[in-house]
Chain A
Amino acid sequence: MRSAKFLSRRLQATLPVAWLLASAAAVAQGGPFEQWLDVPMPPGFRVENTELEGPVFADRDGRTLYEWPLHVQRNGYSGESPDTPACYDEVLTVTAGLMSPYPPGIVLPELETRPSCTDLWPPAYADADAKPVGDWSIVERRDGTRQWAYAEQPLYTSVRDAEPGDTLGGSKRPYGGDSPAYRVPIGPPPAVPPGFAVRTTSTGRMLTTDRNDSVYAYEGDAPDASNCRGECERRFRPLLAPALARSFGEWTILARSPGVRQWVYRGEPLYTFALDEHSWSQQGSDEPGWHNVYTQKAPPFPASFTVQATIVGDVLADQRGMTIYVYQCGDDSQDQLSCDHPDDTQVYRLAMCGGGDPKRCLEYWPYVRAADHETGGSRTWSVIGIDPATGHKAKPEQADAIRVWAFRDRPIYTYAGDRQPGDTHGDGTGEWRGQRNGLRGFWLRNDMLEGPR
């Protein structure tokens, strides 16, 4: 049964309040949820707020909707072209050879239990009388059934999602060119003025300019008064509103001086930091009293976890200070099925973490165990039972199950090769620098490898 807390934070997408939706009553852990711009939707479809991805579109049952964009691989493409469904109920049996140097035609693991694409990604079917609306259209599948599409991309739900607001099937976080062709949750545009953007990060939905410059606020300011003047203005540049801009929703405008108007978000005048050296930076937050601005913060990580400084930036760590890693995996089939979840085949993960030996995996890449008193505090951070012999989720009555911390329903790990807090020697372990069958550090801040501004 859906919890009262869950119900209270759900927003109704059909509120007839101009083109904005209010979310004053919707409070995420640690702060409010992100507001969005209202767009036309098929009857019964709605917007759900989510912990990590902000507002997403959901079908009439509240299931998050995903697209599968075309993604360039090393030896071809995977994903879907506009208006062209490519996810069907056929169980693929061999590799596609999309990632060199390995050739196509190799038999995929565990064929007897291998799911089809639609087993994992049920299409969002449209009723016989459904009609296109706004950016929503209807595409015809091979068998003649009708499927919803948004911005020409066919839509699916994920079997990983258990209740409305789940986004366990995928993330909006940008992924690299050598990553699998991921499924991505879709949603309405964030309610930000032109010139701003929002990006999903490990720390939350970060507000930036449309040029990816981080946006900051100063605790010494007030909604109607900026105390960043003189020399301060040379370091923190006010984000100015055009002459015709008007206040709306959580956005207001401060008159810094006659004719000079500054954007204010949730009562905080906004700035960029002149000394930021890369996009999506957190460097300005090192200045006393200044902080990055988020439309919503990521759920707090478990209380026993720590944050450790490394030679790159800050990384999430366990209570001993040892770096936490997330396993990422997508197979080389044309379907690009995920293999990063305990319900997926464990063949890939066991190969990488222990050369195929589950016991070596437990030694080299131990799970982050949850203490007896610890329970998951959110849908993002949970405690799950794992069968240590297989890596799959344990059965409820399984005596030798271990309780481990999970991020997005996937276990997290530390690395035996890390000797002390701040070590990140496991980062990039595995195929394609850890992006396809391997492990990446849980970075909270990356000052050194974000690329140029």
Chain B
Amino acid sequence: MKRSARIAVAATAVILTGTAAADDGALRDGRIAYVMTNLFWSVYQTEDAKDECPRGFNDGPREQFAKLFPKPEGMTVEETQLRQEIETWHPTSEPDGFEFYEVEGRYSWGLDLDGEASPEDFTHPDGGEGIDNQVYRAVGCIIGFRGPDGVEFIFQDKAIMDERYNRMMIELSGVDSLDNDDEVSVSLYRGLDRLLTDATGEKVMPGGSQRVDARWGASLIRHTTGRIVDGVLSTEPIPEVVIPWQNLRVASVHLIRDLRFVLDLAPEGATGLVAGYADVDTWYRQLIRNDSTHHLSNGQISGISLYKALRRLADAYPDPVTGENTAISTALDVKMAQVFVVHPGGEQDGGAGVTR
């Protein structure tokens, strides 16, 4: 089963059907919108991780500290704690003395971003070649990034449910059919409202409404086009997208270049991938600003070692002066629920177009 189709089935099972919105048909006046309910780095995991991480998982700050300073008593704060914090906050590409376990497996979720199949690329589980996802190569053998209980995985899912800061959504317009359409317009907004859930508060429902954040979120708005083929939306790349991303109330972001969506569309929701090239420094600083060394330790995430891996594996956007790549290919799993978008002034799109 194709990855996208598999996700679609799962999402449909999660999202309760039978709402008034779905019954009426969420595609109205050629418009439909979806809000993100899950968004996380796409990590291909085998059951025992032996395929992708045959040498095991990486150490985190706690393990590295113990190896560096087996008897810290008598040493100074400057020699120990602050030394590690300086390495974290002022990282370099120089080796840190620890072997870093990159993903060694053949397969990865993701997209062929550059149209080429190079040696560092992965193979899609469905057989497609040229998959660009070097973030996966860097984080795939760090337990904090692996589902279902990695610290990053858990925090990110929780933050999307709990917060509005990261309430990103897309709106499709000019849609003739959710099955096939040669060209549709796609807009990316931030919403202002909480997710519509069922009575448990856990399951996101289709048919909610989201006001467009045209004030604080104005700089986040993007537009592109796409086409729908057999129910799958593929968008043209957006040159630069800022994704608000936080899990412990620090207002950080990810900066993704050439970002594109590939989504299985349904009236109740959409599932699939967001892919592009992540700015390495922004990616890294998002991680360490939101997670203290304590939180990183819980996921065995050594920021010091990971930064070096990100730099080593970066594969796009070379710095014009140094030639060093500044961005790294990536893919994110995304799940979305259908919503009605309310634009400033009261126009409600993605639904009946009524003003309220």
Binding site for B on A (CB under 8 A): 74, 94-95, 99-103, 105-109, 178, 277, 309-313, 332, 347-348, 351-352, 354-356, 360, 417, 422, 424-425, 427-434, 437, 441, 447-449, 451-452
Contact = CB atoms under 8 A, between A and B. Distances in A.
A380 B49 CA distance: 56
B65 interface: yes
Interface of B: 61-62, 65, 72-78, 80-82, 85-86, 89-90, 162-165, 190, 192, 194, 215-217, 219-220, 242, 244, 246, 248-253, 282, 285, 289-294, 297
A237 to B, nearest CB: 20
A109 B80 CA distance: 11
Contact of B297 (A101, A313, A434): A101
A451 B164 CA distance: 9
Nearest to B61: A101
Nearest to B81: A102
Nearest to A74: B294
A20 to B, nearest CB: 38
Contacts of B285: 417, 425, 429
A282 B29 CA distance: 36
18 contacts: A101-B61, A105-B74, A107-B74, A108-B77, A309-B216, A311-B190, A311-B242, A311-B251, A312-B165, A332-B77, A351-B85, A351-B86, A417-B285, A427-B250, A428-B250, A430-B85, A448-B163, A449-B246
Nearest to B92: A355
B116 to A, nearest CB: 32
A424 B89 contact: no
A355 B91 CA distance: 10
Nearest to A333: B77
A313 B216 contact: yes
Contact of B72 (A106, A108, A434): A106
Given A310-B251, A355-B89, A430-B85, 4 more contacts: A101-B65, A433-B249, A434-B289, A448-B164
B222 to A, nearest CB: 14
Given A109-B77, A428-B252, A433-B290, A348 B219 contact: no
Contact of B82 (A312, A348, A360, A434): A348
Contact of A109 (B76, B86, B294): B76
Given A352-B85, A428-B290, A448 B90 contact: no
Contact of A99 (B162, B194, B294): B294
Central interface residue in A101, A354, A428, by most chain B CB within 10 Å: A101
A351 B292 contact: no
Nearest to B165: A448
B82 A105 contact: no
Contacts of B89: 352, 355, 429-430
A447 B86 contact: no
Given A105-B73, A107-B77, A355 B90 contact: yes
Contacts of B86: 351-352, 355-356
Contacts of A432: 292, 294
B215 A309 contact: yes
Central interface residue in B78, B162, B194, by most chain A CB within 10 Å: B78
